[in-house]
Amino acid sequence: MIQHSHQTAPTQYVEAKGIRFAYRRFGKPGRVPLVFNMHFTGTMDHWDPAVTDGLAHDREVILFDNAGISSSSGEVPNTIEEMAANAQAFIRAIGITQVDVLGFSLGGFVAQELALAQPKLVRRLILLGTGPRGGEGMASLTRLRLDGRDPEVSEKVGPAQLEALTKWGTPQENPFDYSRAITQPTLVLNGDRDVIIYSVNSWILQQNLPNAQLIIYPDAGHGSQYQYPERFVQHASQFLSEQDTRALGRSQTPGSN
């Protein structure tokens, strides 16, 4: 079997909910696969191979275009919850029963809603450059794949995603209550100078999620995982490979007093 990479993985298609989802799947099989959720107006091609190939070294990674994005058919929904429902339909359609979910920026909102809606499907979360309901999101672009690129996103994508972002980001009473129901072990990661979704949102996320690690990189912005790709791959791999966060922790330090 050919071991594909970010550059060579063929674009495949699967149908669910009347949507034809485009995706690419590569890396080492055996562990729980990691599904990537893209940022505002981004497509599969906007992931950085330093990160995807780095993580594919010891697990399968799955990139996909959610509904209405680029090579996938359907419409971009105007709520984050519907985007999460579409992501779920896609994951079920390719026959996966347990998944780790990585989300960057807008994709981090989708990842949170997916974890909330599907606690059994989603094992672990990696939330990059993102925030809780009440945070705000915009675009950041990273383009590296040159051959067989995804079509650019249509003009309908931006407005629908913006509407979804705005709804999700609207201030409300007790805005962080929802996050206490996200019980999956979570890694929250950002740069210390994110001016798209302010870095402090990562701190707020960590403080309100029941079981989250936080990692902040120095001198780094919204796409900090691309500024320190080797470091990030090591941190993310360590996190994904941990047996169980609660089990790892000592409930009480032996001999402490």
Per CB under 8 A, residues contacting its own copies are 48, 140-144, 185, 192, 199-200, 203, 206-207, 209-220, 223, 226-231, 234-235, 238, 242, 245-246, 248-250, 253-257
Q: Collect all residues with Cβ–Cβ distance below 8 Å to 102 and sequence separation of at least 6.
A: 34, 35, 36, 37, 111, 125, 126, 128, 236
Which residue, 45 or 82, is less far from its own copies as judged by CB?
A: 45
Task: State in angstroms the smallest separation of the CB of 257 from its own copies.
Answer: 5
Nearest in space to 225 (alpha carbons), one of 58, 103, 80, 63: 103
State the first-to-last Cα distance of the chain, in angstroms, to the nearest integer.
56
Nearer Cβ to its own copies, position 86 or 206?
Answer: 206
| CB within 8 Å of 243: residues ≥ 6 apart | none
Residue 93 or 144: which CB sits closer to its own copies? 144
**Based on CB atoms, which residue is closest to its own copies, 89 or 153?**
153
**Nearer Cβ to its own copies, position 25 or 59?**
59
- Report phi then psi at 104, rounded to 5: -115, 120
* Distance of closest approach, residue 227 Cβ to its own copies, in angstroms: 5
CA 145 distance to own-chain centroid: 19
Q: How far is the CB of 26 from its own copies (least distance, A)?
A: 20
Q: Which residues lie across from 190 on neighbouring strands? A: 216
